[in-house]
């Protein structure tokens, strides 16, 4: 989608690595001025440097409302606008439900859900006076199909889908779009353990109609679409980018 975001400016949270980094790169290729936001400030700066002139790398904890507001204001001032926000920052913990630590539960909900709320709210406050803005939230197939030993992650991603619908419903008439992308199993540093386990790789292949797992660039393209004018009649939707995993759960 070269040129799809020409003249626009936006921010990607959790953009220092993995899917977030690929999304930031794809937005830049599409013509946008991009701010890479990450708790790893140095990683954010490195990622922005790789995007070239016009990119900005900033450290921020998405659960800190004051810090998020300050950083997005800086993005707006430095890049000359805030046309889109991609809420990609997230964490995951694997543990049997009886042993799931409550503090880890709280932190997962705080980052994945509350962080998405905080960043979206701060962005909306900038976008509303201008009458237009797009928010894309990273959900997961785990928000639709519960994955074992991931109670907090499943719950947080299901809630992100609900938050997406809430923002879209309430603010659509005021020029704010909000949609979500729900990836399936994608090869990233976070999921590297899957591909070292022969049984897990067989499970992925057997449950995916396309017969393989995804690559980060295959998530970035749909995100660019949802940030662009090409998606102007898409509102409150969750796009499953999962090789057909969710669709194939019938019989």
The yes-or-no verdict on residue 191 having pLDDT over 70 is yes
SS3 state of residue 86: strand
CB atoms within 10 A of CB 193: 10
- Identify the pLDDT of residue 113: 98
What local confidence, expressed as pLDDT, does residue 65 receive?
A: 98
CA torsion, points 119, 122, 128, 132, in degrees to nearest 10? -30
Q: What is the pTM of this model?
A: 0.97
Q: Which pLDDT belongs to residue 46?
A: 98
Domain boundaries, position 181: 9-240
Number of domains comprising the chain? 1
Residue 246 domain-assigned (yes or no): no
Does residue 42 have a pLDDT over 60? yes
Q: What positions carry a catalytic annotation?
A: 153
Q: 102-141, pLDDT tens digit by residue?
A: 999 999 999 999 999 999 999 999 999 999 999 999 999 9
Residue 196's contacts (CB-CB under 8 Å, 6 or more residues apart) are: none
Task: Give residue 178's pLDDT.
Answer: 99
Q: What is the model's pLDDT at position 194?
A: 78
Domain assignment present for residue 245? The answer is no
Question: Please, what's the largest Cα pairwise distance for the chain?
Answer: 52
Q: What local confidence, expressed as pLDDT, does residue 31 receive?
A: 97
- pLDDT-derived band at 250 (thresholds 50, 70, 90) equals low
Q: Does residue 21 carry a pLDDT above 70?
A: yes
Q: Report whether pLDDT(251) > 70.
A: no
Q: Which CATH number goes with the domain that contains 160?
A: 3.40.50.720
- Domain assignment present for 121: yes
In a domain, 95, yes or no: yes
The answer to whether residue 251 sits within a structural domain is no
Of 219, 109, 233, 72, the residue nearest 168 (C-alpha) = 233
In a domain? residue 250: no
In a domain, 45, yes or no: yes
Residue 195 pLDDT level (bands cut at 50, 70, 90): confident
Within 8 A by CB and 6+ apart from 125, the residues are: 69
Query: Residue 181 pLDDT > 80, yes or no?
Result: yes
Is residue 62 situated within a structural domain?
Answer: yes
């Amino acid at each position: 989608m070269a040129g799809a975001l020409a003249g626009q400016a936006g921010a990607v949270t959790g953009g220092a690595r993995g899917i977030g980094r690929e999304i930031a790169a794809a937005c830049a290729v599409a013509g946008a001025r991009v701010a890479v936001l990450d708790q790893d400030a140095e990683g954010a700066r490195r990622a922005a440097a790789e995007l070239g002139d016009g990119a900005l790398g900033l450290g921020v904890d998405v659960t800190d409302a004051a810090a998020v507001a300050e950083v997005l204001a800086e993005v707006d001032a430095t890049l000359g606008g805030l046309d889109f926000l991609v809420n990609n920052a997230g964490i995951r913990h694997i543990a049997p439900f009886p042993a799931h630590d409550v503090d880890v539960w709280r932190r997962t909900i705080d980052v994945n859900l509350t962080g998405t709320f905080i960043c979206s709210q701060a962005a909306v406050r900038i976008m509303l006076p201008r009458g237009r803005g797009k928010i894309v939230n990273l959900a997961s197939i785990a928000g639709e199909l519960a994955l074992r030993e991931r109670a907090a992650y499943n719950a947080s991603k299901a809630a992100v889908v609900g938050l997406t619908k809430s923002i879209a419903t309430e603010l659509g008439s005021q020029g704010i779009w909000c949609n979500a992308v729900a990836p399936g199993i994608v090869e990233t540093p976070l999921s590297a353990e899957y591909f070292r386990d022969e049984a897990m790789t067989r499970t992925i292949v057997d449950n995916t109609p396309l017969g393989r797992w995804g690559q980060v660039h295959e998530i970035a393209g749909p995100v660019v679409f949802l940030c662009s004018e090409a998606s102007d009649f898409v509102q409150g939707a969750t796009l499953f980018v999962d090789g057909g995993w969710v669709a194939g759960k019938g019989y």
